[in-house]
Chain A
Amino acid sequence: MNPMPKHFAFKAMGSFCEIQLFDESRIRAKNVVKQLTGEVARLEKKYSRFREDSFLNEMNSSAGNKLGLEIDDETQSLFDHALNCFEHSDGLFDISAGALTEIWDFKKAVVPSQSQIDAARAHVGLNKISCQDCHIHLPRNMQIDFGGIVKEYAADSVARLARSLGIEHGLVNLGGDFSVIGSQPGNKPWAVGISSPVSESGIMAKIDLIDGGLASSGDYERFFMHEGHRYSHILNPMTGWPSNGLRAVSIAANLCSVAGSVATIAMLKDELEAKAWLKDSGLAYVYMDSKEEISSAGLSAEN
């Protein structure tokens, strides 16, 4: 087998994506990648907040409808996972925080008033939504955003699809969310560099991935400064204000979906609590705190 993997780059879910895999035939690899990108496109079409014809849009349009809406198994499972994360993070991880995102304008760098925040918070809270047995009842003015879980789920789903198509060695990267199809030949890990939130081209840490997934969360891409205070785009649904914890965190776990949920929750917790929680988690991680100090555990291939 050729010692170098084949690279296939494409754009999806608003990010740069790349699939690397080892396969004997370039033609077969291309066919496989076609099916994989098709799967990403399918999920994007279904759950994109920015597409009018997405199922997510249809779901959000049903807000206030007494009859509710029929959903499929996949959507029900995603909701179940989101609810599980909501319960285990004491309400920090909340896919129904859409109403809040709308009042914070990061382009205009305006801080909304407390009364505006309070009004928006009335329409936030995953526990207010009834979604079971493939039927969802979305209360009026509430909005769901799967943005926090779909990209990671897509990475895992694509990795599994690749395995079922016979690919034994490969790596899926959807805008920084990684899922391993299989280790590099000879049971060698994939080396993934995690970029630094502060330095433009710097690497914060390098992690060896032999299986599972890697997801990152950070506030360095979207934030604004106002009166000397830093407002990150990561909003705490319990308070309505941006979280004030870690600057960036990357987690490696058995699944990208799990890594993503853990990363998001770690970003929403208070700094000290987040650090302790990550330490206890047993997962491999790297984070940069508010003082721009880097800390990590379990990154090297001791697996």
Chain B
Amino acid sequence: MKNSASRSIIALSSTALALPGIALADAPPTQSTISYKLSNYQEDDLARAEAPFGELERYDIDVHQFQLVSPLGRNMSVHVDANYESLSGASPWFTSLGLDGEPNVNLSGPSGISDRRTELSVGSRYYLENGSFAANIGYSEENDYRATYFGLNGEKHYNNDLTTVSAGLSYSSDEIFPTDAALFNRSIDEDKQSTSVFVSVSQIINQVSSFQSAFSFTEQSGFLSDPYKLRDIRPDDKTQLAWSNSYRKFFVAANAALHVNYRYYHDDFGISSHTSDLSWHQNLGRTFQLVPQLRYYSQSAADFFTNVDDFLNPTSEYQSSDYRLSAFGAVSGGFSVIADMGSWKATLTAERYLANDKYSAFDVSQPSTALVKYNRVSLGIDFQF
């Protein structure tokens, strides 16, 4: 019935809609869903000019993601996530000044890094009349890293379910035991703790659009340096703030949805960043959906970043040539094709990412030469039963 009802009819409907048998409050899923996604991530090789000696090939990673979400009784849902990653390739070990006066990257030796990572997490959500709360716990393990974490979060609906406020906290306790530690004079066994809280507000604006704003605050302490870099000395605590905003709008005539996201980040290593992304979810008939997307990222350098390792610097001073702490920007574009066949759904995604010091919106006094470019392809399947 698409007639516009008169005001008195709308008034009568308001209480009818609040009736428990009819009310559309947040409800647990009624069906179970099992999902699997296979992805391949491949970084571009370095150009010989950037790395005159040694390895050119960077990371090549295969990722398997698995998830099961299921209702449990009338008011609960449970989820199990398992991830398996296998990684091969090399990572920057140190930087040096080339014969031409420009910084060079030196990737780790011929043995490279070959690693597998396994992660398992389990969580549950309990639904109440006006909201829900959830708990989750997880564990991940690699050759040289172990992490145990848990999280709690809750959300409440207000204003006839038009406004939702959610908050949560999580804690992670990690252990690092670098491979070949004695051989390369690396730290043998270190640990790190991380505590994080977030608060978010979502608001339905009208029948076709909604907005969400969230703040998160994270405190890390322990060993924060990269043990595989020849010279990498970072503070033993780090405070991070992030503020993200999301907007969703459905275009009825086009039968498509627009997603716009923006995040501002800042931490006390001195890094600030802007992340913005856009995606267009275009429905094609009842089965297909095409989703092109674009992302722009820009960060400033850490206070102690240097693009050429200085081994003569005293070890009491912070220092890192890790490109991830340099000022750079990144542009990435991708495309997904989704086929929804009722109880089966398949998603194929391809993405290209390019980082470049010239893309940064911040001052780049020391551009890093080790910035990455990569391709990523994924194939996902979902089954509802």
* Contact flag (A, B; Cβ within 8 A): yes
Of the candidates B6, B11, B17, the one whose C-beta lies within 8 Å of that of A282 is B6
A224 CB–B CB distance under 8 Å = no
Hey, which chain A residues are within 8 Å of B4, CB to CB?
282
- Residue-wise interface mask of B (13-35) relative to A, using a CB-CB cutoff of 8 A (1 in contact, 0 not): 11111111110000100110000
B9 CB–A CB distance under 8 Å = yes
Known: A280-B6, A282-B3. A74 touches B11 (CB 8 A): no
Of the candidates A77, A160, A212, the one whose C-beta lies within 8 Å of that of B15 is A77
Hey, which chain B residues are within 8 Å of A255, CB to CB?
13, 16-17, 22
Which residue of the partner chain A has the closest CB to B16?
A257
Within 8 A of B (CB), among A215-268: 252-255, 257-258, 261-262
Interface SS, B side = loop
Of the candidates B6, B16, B27, B129, the one whose C-beta lies within 8 Å of that of A81 is B16
The smallest beta-carbon distance between A25 and chain B, in angstroms, is 14
**Cα-based distance from A282 to B9 in the complex (angstroms):** 8
**Cα-based distance from A153 to B19 in the complex (angstroms):** 8
**Is A283 in contact with B19, judged by CB distance below 8 angstroms?**
no
Hey, which chain A residues are within 8 Å of B1, CB to CB?
210-212, 252-254, 283-284, 303
**Is B20 in contact with A254, judged by CB distance below 8 angstroms?**
no
A293 CB–B CB distance under 8 Å = no
**Is B16 in contact with A261, judged by CB distance below 8 angstroms?**
yes
A88 CB–B CB distance under 8 Å = yes
Of the candidates A80, A156, A303, the one whose C-beta lies within 8 Å of that of B18 is A80
- Residue-wise interface mask of B (113-144) relative to A, using a CB-CB cutoff of 8 A (1 in contact, 0 not): 00000000000000001000000000000000
- Residue-wise interface mask of B (137-167) relative to A, using a CB-CB cutoff of 8 A (1 in contact, 0 not): 0000000000000000000000000000000
**Is A81 in contact with B18, judged by CB distance below 8 angstroms?**
yes
**Is B19 in contact with A303, judged by CB distance below 8 angstroms?**
no
Of the candidates A78, A84, A281, the one whose C-beta lies within 8 Å of that of B5 is A281
Chain B interface bracket (under 10, 10 to 19, 20 to 34, 35 or more): 20 to 34
We find that the number of chain A residues with CB closer than 8 angstroms to chain B is 38
> Considering residues B5, B14, B15, which has the most beta carbons from chain A within 10 angstroms of its beta carbon?
B15
A165 CB–B CB distance under 8 Å = yes
**Cα-based distance from A211 to B198 in the complex (angstroms):** 40
Of the candidates A80, A212, A257, A281, the one whose C-beta lies within 8 Å of that of B6 is A281
**Cα-based distance from A281 to B3 in the complex (angstroms):** 10
Which residue of the partner chain A has the closest CB to B21?
A157
**Is A261 in contact with B21, judged by CB distance below 8 angstroms?**
no
Hey, which chain A residues are within 8 Å of B22, CB to CB?
153, 156-157, 160, 255, 257
**Is B19 in contact with A166, judged by CB distance below 8 angstroms?**
no
**Is B5 in contact with A253, judged by CB distance below 8 angstroms?**
yes
Within 8 A of B (CB), among A136-185: 153-154, 156-157, 160-161, 164-166
**Is A281 in contact with B9, judged by CB distance below 8 angstroms?**
yes
A64 CB–B CB distance under 8 Å = no
The smallest beta-carbon distance between A291 and chain B, in angstroms, is 26
B12 CB–A CB distance under 8 Å = yes
Hey, which chain A residues are within 8 Å of B129, CB to CB?
73
**Is B20 in contact with A73, judged by CB distance below 8 angstroms?**
yes
**Is B9 in contact with A262, judged by CB distance below 8 angstroms?**
yes
> Considering residues B12, B15, B16, B30, which has the most beta carbons from chain A within 10 angstroms of its beta carbon?
B16
A85 CB–B CB distance under 8 Å = yes
Hey, which chain A residues are within 8 Å of B12, CB to CB?
84-85, 88, 258, 261-262
**Cα-based distance from A286 to B27 in the complex (angstroms):** 36
The smallest beta-carbon distance between B168 and chain A, in angstroms, is 27
A298 CB–B CB distance under 8 Å = yes
Hey, which chain B residues are within 8 Å of A39, CB to CB?
21
Hey, which chain A residues are within 8 Å of B111, CB to CB?
none
The smallest beta-carbon distance between A166 and chain B, in angstroms, is 7
Known: A157-B22, A164-B30, A303-B2. A88 touches B8 (CB 8 A): yes
The smallest beta-carbon distance between B379 and chain A, in angstroms, is 27
**Cα-based distance from A88 to B6 in the complex (angstroms):** 12
Hey, which chain B residues are within 8 Å of A257, CB to CB?
16, 19, 22
**Cα-based distance from A130 to B246 in the complex (angstroms):** 44
> Considering residues A81, A165, A262, A298, which has the most beta carbons from chain B within 10 angstroms of its beta carbon?
A81
**Cα-based distance from A258 to B110 in the complex (angstroms):** 74
Which residue of the partner chain B has the closest CB to A257?
B16
Hey, which chain A residues are within 8 Å of B5, CB to CB?
253-254, 281-283
**Cα-based distance from A280 to B10 in the complex (angstroms):** 12
**Is A80 in contact with B15, judged by CB distance below 8 angstroms?**
yes
> Considering residues B1, B6, B11, B14, which has the most beta carbons from chain A within 10 angstroms of its beta carbon?
B1
- Residue-wise interface mask of B (327-356) relative to A, using a CB-CB cutoff of 8 A (1 in contact, 0 not): 000000000000000000000000000000
Of the candidates B2, B11, B30, the one whose C-beta lies within 8 Å of that of A166 is B30
Q: List 30 A-B contacts (CB under 8 A).
A: A73-B20, A77-B19, A77-B20, A80-B15, A81-B18, A88-B11, A156-B19, A156-B21, A156-B22, A157-B20, A157-B22, A160-B22, A165-B30, A166-B31, A211-B1, A253-B13, A254-B13, A255-B16, A255-B17, A255-B22, A257-B16, A257-B22, A258-B9, A258-B12, A258-B13, A282-B3, A282-B4, A282-B5, A283-B3, A284-B3
- Excluding A153-B19, A258-B16, 20 further A-B contacts by CB distance (< 8 Å) are A39-B21, A74-B19, A77-B19, A78-B19, A81-B19, A84-B14, A88-B11, A157-B20, A157-B21, A157-B22, A212-B1, A253-B5, A254-B1, A255-B17, A255-B22, A262-B12, A281-B6, A281-B9, A282-B9, A298-B3
